[in-house]
Amino acid sequence: MVQKCNIFAWRSEINRIPTGVALRNRNIPIVDVSCPLCNSGDETVDHLFTACVVASTVWQFVSSWCIIPSIFAFSFKDLLEIHSLSGLSDQRKDVIQGIIIIRYWSIWKARNELKFAGKTARIENIVSEIKALGFL
């Protein structure tokens, strides 16, 4: 699972996950490119993982759980680098980086379940999955 999450984060960083805007930019006919989680912005990597209301709320819960200050990021890369700027011990930096990557994966999974299976994306479920995967 760790390898899958890391590969997903890498693919997201280089904008190679199939968001609505990325698919449209590859000339795939997409009718609606709005974020399926919040419907308030175009679905890009940066929106989905930083600007989306669902992602922001999930991050607030995760910050509280990890006992770290709330983080406000403007891009996907900001969140990937935040652990190195946190002033925490090396071990704790690694833990925070892992949780951030798990957060990406959990949000993407919730997005896919909503988009393809019609399941409601509940913040509590996303946070629970992050906690469960964070203990592995």
CA distance 76 to 39: 19
Q: Is the pLDDT of residue 136 over 70?
A: no
Residue 27 structure tokens: 């000339």
* pLDDT for res 85: 62
Average model confidence (pLDDT) across the chain: 90
Number of structural domains (the chain) is 1
Average pLDDT over residues 23-37: 96
Q: For 15, which DSSP code?
A: T
Question: Which has the minimum average pLDDT: 14-23, 48-57, 82-91?
Answer: 82-91
Q: What is the residue range of 61's domain? A: 2-134
pLDDT in tens, 51-74: 999 999 998 998 898 888 777 788
Distance CA 47, CA 41 (A): 7
